[in-house]
Structure 1
Amino acid sequence: MTAFGATELLADCGLIVAAGGSSSRFGHGNKLLMDLAGLPVFCHCLRAFLPLLPAGHAVLVVPAVSEPLFAAALAAAGWGERVRLVPGGASRQASVQAGLAALPAAATIVAVQDAARPLATAELLARCVASARACGSGVAAHRVVDTIKAATAEGAVTATPDRRALWAAETPQVFRRDWLAAAYELVARDGLEVTDDAQAVQLAGHPVQLVESQQDNLKITRAADLPLANFILAQRRAEANDVT
């Protein structure tokens, strides 16, 4: 049994972990290689997801110049043979395309995970995969609780959307492989830039189904996010010990 109750081997699922960010808002170094509870940040989603995946079904896409650093971290974690390292492209969407090309044909469902989200759970991945099997897509997201303002570049408010209809997208984002591949071919052909995989799939005319994320799924963006992630992980470990 894996963590958080997910037990099924996802034999039809391939995983692309996108680890090509610039870390410009983090302030120093590569945030994905920073220590978090004894592992580099990027390793945490792999630790959660790998037990659900067949061998050869996980790809880590990294900047070519950083390959040796990521390879060393994978080897230290004991995953050098489980995870294929692939150099990324000039953009996130090009990197996801490179990851798609590296997955085996048996992976007909593809999950894309931001390496900077170390708190995503096996249970969340399993629910997103179930959604993708049923309706072609399953995108982790949480309901917006703040009042959102649309504004001009100068900060003048132009609208207040109804937050009851608003969700914040996270990862994993899981899709039928043929949908995702065709979507990225479309955006590449038309010179479009998307901010997540769901946007590309929607532009290609496919429905996108949200899967509510019910636990903290923090994205490491700034240096202050690391101690918060450490705190959340410590809480989870304590809760797991209480259950056992």
Structure 2
Amino acid sequence: MIAARDCVLILLAAGRSARFGPQNKLGADLLGLPVGLHVVTALEDIPFRARLAISGGGALDFSTRGYTVIQNDQQDLGMSESVKLGVARAREMEAAAVLIVLADMPRVTAAHIGRLLDAADSSDAVVASSDGREPKPPVLFGRDRFDALLSLTGDRGARDLIRAGHHVVTSPAELIDIDTPEDLERLRRAVHATGRFCTSDPTDPDDWETSR
């Protein structure tokens, strides 16, 4: 395993939200909290070496939640530019690994992040999340993968690395990301219909647990 204290958390929050419309999706309300602060809140008690937020500006100031904010002024170059900004700073901090999390995935839990850290068994580890069908973020990269991450281009990002890595399966609902207003509205309706948070299959009432 890789200890959280040796790992730098990189929160990617610089997307242009083109499919969401004029509003910045990370600032949109979900259960009384902005979409972009759900994962921040879920992971706030994990003792990472450092927390970096790669931001394109917008509705949220992650510095108030303990993050060092790094501005991405080249969002048109794709997600890889945000990844490179975070990894370069993590390397300066002599991190053993980075954990890359997307700010538009509001259902990610600390328990799942713990499983990713536990599954990282070497300095060249690549440990991705999976919904049982395909790998996706959050994903952990050991320091021997930093050179590869720093050479990425475009929006494909680290997909090939992720596909070839170790995959930790969790419930599909935990890995929901918000790309469109319709995605957000479906999640709102599901929660309001039951008064509960979905932890597995959002269509199965047996997979809902009472909200705190």
- The number of residue pairs the alignment matches comes to 193
Of the three residues 167, 184, 193, the one matched with 1:210 is 167
Question: In the aligned structure 2, how far is the partner of 1:168 from the partner of 1:215?
Answer: 10
Q: CA deviation at 1:202?
A: 6.1
SS at match of 1:16: strand
Of the three residues 21, 35, 44, the one matched with 2:15 is 21
Per-residue CA deviations over 1:180-232 (Å, capped at 9, x if unaligned) read x2112333xxxx53524342x369xxx51111122512110111222333335
TM-score by length of 2: 0.78
Question: In the aligned structure 2, how far is the partner of 1:85 from the partner of 1:196?
Answer: 21
Q: CA deviation at 1:127?
A: 1.0
Question: In the aligned structure 1, how far is the partner of 2:172 from the partner of 2:162?
Answer: 26
Aligned residue for 1:195?
156
1:136 aligns with 2:125: yes
Change (3 A) 1:16 1:241: closer
CA RMSD of aligned residues (A): 2.8
- Report if aligned partners of 1:17, 1:115 keep a CA contact under 8 Å in 2: yes
Of the three residues 54, 59, 66, the one matched with 2:52 is 59
Aligned residue for 1:94?
81
Per-residue CA deviations over 1:111-138 (Å, capped at 9, x if unaligned) read 1011111111111111112222357121
Change (3 A) 1:177 1:215: same
Change (3 A) 1:136 1:117: same
Change (3 A) 1:228 1:53: farther
1:117 aligns with 2:105: yes
The one-letter amino acid paired with 2:150 is E
Of the three residues 222, 227, 231, the one matched with 2:185 is 227
Instruction: Give the gaps of 5 or more residues in structure 1.
Output: 1-7, 144-166
SS at match of 2:196: helix
SS at match of 1:11: helix
Question: In the aligned structure 2, how far is the partner of 1:9 from the partner of 1:110?
Answer: 11
Per-residue CA deviations over 1:50-92 (Å, capped at 9, x if unaligned) read 21124x61111011x43xx422x653xxx1xx11111124321
Change (3 A) 1:222 1:241: closer
TM-score by length of 1: 0.69
SS at match of 2:4: coil
Question: In the aligned structure 2, how far is the partner of 1:202 from the partner of 1:45?
Answer: 21
Question: In the aligned structure 1, how far is the partner of 2:3 from the partner of 2:120?
Answer: 15
- Report if aligned partners of 1:131, 1:137 keep a CA contact under 8 Å in 2: no
- Report if aligned partners of 1:130, 1:138 keep a CA contact under 8 Å in 2: no
1:36 aligns with 2:30: yes
Question: In the aligned structure 2, how far is the partner of 1:198 from the partner of 1:49?
Answer: 24
Larger radius of gyration: 1
The one-letter amino acid paired with 2:60 is F
Change (3 A) 1:224 1:101: same
Of the three residues 130, 138, 162, the one matched with 1:172 is 138
The one-letter amino acid paired with 1:137 is V
- Report if aligned partners of 1:173, 1:197 keep a CA contact under 8 Å in 2: no
The one-letter amino acid paired with 1:185 is L
